[in-house]
């Protein structure tokens, strides 16, 4: 987690500036308004006014930039797999982040670079800065639709399409897709403790394109409103929701074994607002997966028209979670009774399924 916008007030550079004033070689690393340094209120630029977090002049000071990039190189050489960048928009310099990328990728071309951006991330996703951003636009739709029920199938499908249209196909495949984070209320709390809503959102997250990210503890049903309640201790004492944990294990196993879920495109197959039905397909070459959700309050039959989605008549498909096997007939797939508030993940019957 790279925090390059500010340091702590106990950082060696700031302590030196605090002790030696303008004579310190680190004085110009910060925007200090006078000497002696005063902390209440701070007479220097501090992140969001927090005196303990003096801001670095990372945008305009070459010495700061060189130090940061040398630090980045040292850590990358240790073999870390990537960087999550804290408030990178507050270092308002494309050239700095371009140099950051060159430094990281020059050492490890496969390193993953994700920036903490809460809104439209196109500025940083042109191929010369970050690989992805924290996809809060995705997260917001998950909360509104699955947790709060404040929008419908047509609306969430359209909103997600709008988010995808912001970025290139390559970027969409690696977006940092969350249901929550250390800066937001946990999803289960957003859903008022509704475990079924959380499970449905998790199934969608794990079968949607992008990189699904699990906030620690969500996989065992942790709850918690906004900071600090959302940052509680992991329940090591065994207070876990085993059904959520089991679902996560199944979904992760299935995704790891399924090319279309890892890197396939996304197509909507069917929507029905009144009944709360949503079906979509992921496709990667010849590998296909169809996900069907009945978000309504009663079981009902569902028929999907698959004529445009490459399924040959006679193809037998199995729900990777429920193990129900059906056959494509006349380009249609009929589910006799889709349980209320349930999801099915249909794969060719001869494909590897999730282990239970």
Per-residue pLDDT tens over the stretch 297-351? 999 999 999 999 999 999 999 999 998 999 999 999 999 999 999 999 999 998 7
Mean pLDDT for 278-304 is: 98
Reported as a pLDDT band with limits 50, 70 and 90, residue 239 is confident
DSSP symbol at 167 = S
Q: DSSP string spanning 283-347? A: EETTEEEEEEEE-SSS-EEEEEE-TTTTPPTT-EEEETTT--EEE-BTTEEEEEEEPTTEEEEEE
Give the distance from CA 195 to its chain's centroid.
20
Question: According to CATH, where is 3.20.20.80 located in the chain?
Answer: 62-261
Question: According to CATH, where is 2.60.40.1180 located in the chain?
Answer: 263-348
Quickly tell me which residue has 């949503």 as its tokens: 278
Q: Tens of pLDDT along 194-209?
A: 999 999 999 999 999 9
- CA angle 321–198–342, rounded 5-degree value: 40
Is 242 marked active-site? no
Quick count: other Cβ atoms within 10 Å of Cβ 6?
24
Cis peptide before 57 (omega within 30 of 0): no
Residue of 116, 131, 219, 250 with catalytic role: 116
Is 86 marked active-site? yes
Reported as a pLDDT band with limits 50, 70 and 90, residue 355 is very low
Residue of 16, 86, 183, 287 with catalytic role: 86
Its CATH class, for the domain covering 263-348, is mainly beta
CATH 3.20.20.80 fits 62-261, yes or no: yes
**Mean pLDDT across the chain:** 97
Quickly tell me which residue has 């945008």 as its tokens: 59
Closest to 18 measured CA to CA, from 42, 37, 41: 37
The rounded distance, in Å, linking the Cα atoms of 338 and 263 is: 27
HSE of 21, CA atoms in CB hemisphere, 13 A: 4
Reported as a pLDDT band with limits 50, 70 and 90, residue 353 is low
């Amino acid at each position: 987690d790279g925090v390059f916008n500010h340091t702590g007030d106990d950082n060696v550079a700031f302590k030196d500036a605090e002790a030696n004033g303008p004579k310190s070689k680190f004085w110009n690393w910060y925007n200090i308004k006078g000497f002696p340094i005063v902390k209440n209120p701070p007479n220097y630029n501090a992140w969001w006014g927090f005196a303990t977090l003096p801001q670095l002049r990372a945008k305009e000071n070459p010495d700061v930039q060189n130090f940061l990039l040398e630090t980045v190189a040292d850590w990358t050489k240790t073999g870390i797999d990537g960087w999550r960048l804290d408030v990178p928009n507050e270092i308002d310099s494309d050239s700095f982040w371009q140099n950051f990328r060159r430094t990281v990728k020059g050492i490890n071309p496969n390193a993953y670079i994700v920036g903490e951006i809460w809104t439209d991330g196109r500025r940083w996703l042109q191929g010369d800065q970050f690989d992805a951003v924290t996809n809060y636009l995705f997260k917001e739709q998950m909360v509104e639709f699955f947790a709060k029920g404040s929008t419908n199938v047509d609306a969430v499908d359209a909103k997600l399409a709008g988010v995808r249209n912001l970025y290139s196909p390559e970027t969409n495949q690696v977006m940092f897709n969350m249901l929550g984070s250390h800066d937001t209320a946990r999803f289960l709390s957003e859903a008022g403790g509704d475990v079924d809503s959380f499970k449905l959102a998790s199934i969608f997250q794990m079968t949607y394109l992008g990189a699904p990210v699990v906030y620690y503890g969500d996989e065992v049903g942790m709850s918690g409103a906004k900071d600090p309640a959302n940052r509680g201790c992991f329940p090591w004492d065994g207070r876990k929701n085993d059904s959520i944990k089991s679902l996560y294990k199944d979904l992760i196993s299935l995704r790891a074994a399924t090319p279309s879920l890892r890197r396939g495109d996304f197509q909507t197959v069917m929507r029905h607002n009144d009944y709360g039905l949503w079906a979509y397909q992921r496709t990667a070459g010849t590998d296909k997966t169809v996900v069907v959700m009945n978000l309504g309050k009663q079981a009902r039959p569902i028929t999907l028209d698959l004529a445009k989605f490459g399924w040959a008549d006679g193809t037998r498909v199995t729900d990777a979670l429920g193990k129900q096997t059906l056959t494509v007939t006349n380009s249609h797939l009929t589910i006799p009774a889709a349980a209320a508030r349930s999801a099915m993940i249909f794969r060719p019957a001869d494909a590897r399924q999730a282990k239970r």
